[in-house]
Structure 1
Amino acid sequence: MLFAGLAIYSTLNVVVGFFIFFAAMGEDGTAFMIVGTVLLALSGLGAGIGLCFVRKPWARGLGLGLMIGWALWSILSAGFCTGINPGLYA
């Protein structure tokens, strides 16, 4: 389930990333970037932590996969894919 969580988060990251890319082309792109960053953090970390508190092995594995997916995308892309890089808002 860990690998399933990683795949789910990666898919969600690509979908939200394309939404942010096309939405940020307008006048106020910073607002869309902030919404996307919060959405990705809540889906990766918030849902991951919530699933880890469920007392089922599949939920714990899926939660760990979501959190590991968020961390890997953040580290490997220097925060560009998850929106935590401060250079995106300058």
Structure 2
Amino acid sequence: MNFPPGPPPNMPPPPPHQGGKPPGQGGQVAAMALAGAMAFIVVNAIAGFFVLMVASSINDNTVSKALFGLMAVASAASAFVGGWLLIRRKKAAPKGFGLGLMIGWSLVTVFTAGLCTALNPELYTGVLGIGIGL
């Protein structure tokens, strides 16, 4: 007897997925977390270079300190507030990207001792020799 392609006609369909997250999204979350971390690193490097060049051209110490403070707040806010908003989404890709933003900020802060996230501005005068008077 020849049956048409597919399951035999007398077999019931498989049961629907019950509760929890859909299967098979762990790899997608991990890949998007890596993408989020890399995106934060690239954007932070570009913004940090711009802020460093502007701060080194300003002769006013107060303005330089305020600029680095603003950079530190903007960097942390973009990583953690943006990451938190993305993690609250239902889909795996935004969750992974939001987690990656937070991971990226943490890695940049740890590996550069706060230099590239403006958490340790004393390094600008000591290590780089920039006379911004912090």
C-alpha distance in 1 between matches for 2:77 and 2:94 = 17
Partners of 2:70 and 2:91 lie apart in 1 by 31
Q: What TM-score, normalized by structure 1, do the two folds share?
A: 0.90
1:2 aligns with 2:37: no
Q: How far is 1:86 from its partner?
A: 5.9
Partner of residue 95 from structure 2, selected from 60, 66, 71: 60
- Structure 2: which amino acid aligns with 1:17? G
- Two-structure CA RMSD over aligned residues (Å): 1.6
Structure number with bigger Rg? 2
Q: Deviations over 1:42-70 (max 9, x none)?
A: 11111111111111100100001000000
* Structure with greater helix percent: 1
Q: Give the alignment partner of residue 24 of structure 1, picking from 55, 63, 77.
A: 55
Number of residue-to-residue matches in the alignment: 90
**Could you tell me how far apart the structure 2 residues matched to 1:30 and 1:22 are?**
14
Where does structure 1 lack aligned partners over 5 or more consecutive residues? none
Task: Give the structure, 1 or 2, with the largest relative contact order (CA under 8 Å, sep 6 or more).
Answer: 1
Distance apart, 1:87 and its partner CA? 2.9
